[in-house]
Structure formats: structure tokens, C-alpha cells
Amino acid sequence: MSRWLAFMPIVALVALGALFYFFALQRADSKYQPQALVGRMVPDVTLPALADGKPVRIREAAADGPMVVNFFASWCAPCEIEHPILMGMKGSGARVVGIAYKDAPPNTQAFLGRLGNPFSSALVDRDGRAGVEFGVTGVPETYVIGRDGKVLAKHTGPLTEAEAEKLAKLAR
């Protein structure tokens, strides 16, 4: 009988795992949509500019014409991988606004100094509140905002050349 008692913790762990799988994972909210912001107004957030700290309201910035908004961070390896693609978007005339997500401004400045600055303006989201408003699930994440302030598209993860071209066309 004592041998069975030795296996009871393992049996209990397997049973709990099965319960978690069937009740949590199988019944997960199927209405979660990472594209939920597309077609809606951009969140009304104001962030300080990296260069001088002056506040920039995203909705007002969109009124100057469509723009690509890229959430990035100096500590993000995929952000470094996509950086040349953002530089190419800048070279093709797309207006790209960068939002440094949960990053210290000196680190962001060093990152852009080392790799080049593809952004027409770089903003600081030090505490991540703007990221929450946008529904950012991780960096990098890229949005296209129309002149009317509506979100036209969203891309999660590092941009590819093809995806960047598609987003740049929307931002023209």
C-alpha cells in the first residue's frame, strides 16, 4: 500500500494538468482577436518625444497624413532584426513613427544611434500604458494609421520585406 502513496503526488499533478487543459485551454475565449483595433479609431494617447520630451498626440499626428506606428525596444532582438526594413520604409518615403516600449530613453537613443533612425519621430512609452491602449502583445508590433485616425492594419512580430511593402502602400 505504501508504494501507491508514493505515486499519489504524480497522479494528482496529472489530474490537475488534465483539468487545466480541458477547462482553461479548451474553453479559452475564442473571441480574442489580435486585429480587433483594425477599423477603429487609434487610441487617444499622448507621449513625450524622445528628442526633446515635448508631448505628441497620436491622433493629431495622424491628421498630417497616414503613418506607420512601430512599437520597438532596444532590448528586443527581433526589433534589431526588423530595423533594416524600417530604414528601407523610411527611404521609400513612408512616415514611420516609433514608440519605444518600456525602454529607458538613453538605451533607446543608443539603439537608434548604433543602427540609424528610421523614424520621423520617436516617442517614449516608458511605462507601457500606450502599448496597453493599442493592445500590444509584444514588440515589435506595427500599425498603419489613416489620416482620419483609424487603424488600417496591424502586424505582430518583425516585419518582412513583403509585409513592409504592403503596410507602406496603405500609409501613402
Q: How far apart are CA 126 and CA 133, in angstroms?
A: 14
Domains in the chain (CATH in brackets) are: 46-170 (3.40.30.10)
State CA 11 to chain mean position distance.
41
Q: Along the 172 residues of the chain, how does pLDDT read in single tens digits?
A: 566 666 677 766 766 655 555 555 444 444 444 577 899 999 999 999 999 999 999 999 999 999 999 999 999 999 999 999 999 999 999 999 999 999 999 999 999 999 999 999 999 999 999 999 999 999 999 999 999 999 999 999 999 999 999 999 988 8
- In terms of Cα–Cα distance, which of 124, 122, 119, 120 is closest to 105? 124
Alpha helices, DSSP H, located in 21-137: 58-62, 77-91, 105-115, 129-134
Q: Judge if pTM exceeds 0.75.
A: yes
DSSP strands (E only) in the chain: 46-48, 55-57, 67-72, 96-101, 121-125, 141-145, 151-156
CB 70 within 8 A of CB 78: no
Q: How far apart are CA 43 and CA 131, in angstroms?
A: 10
> How many residues would you count in the chain?
172
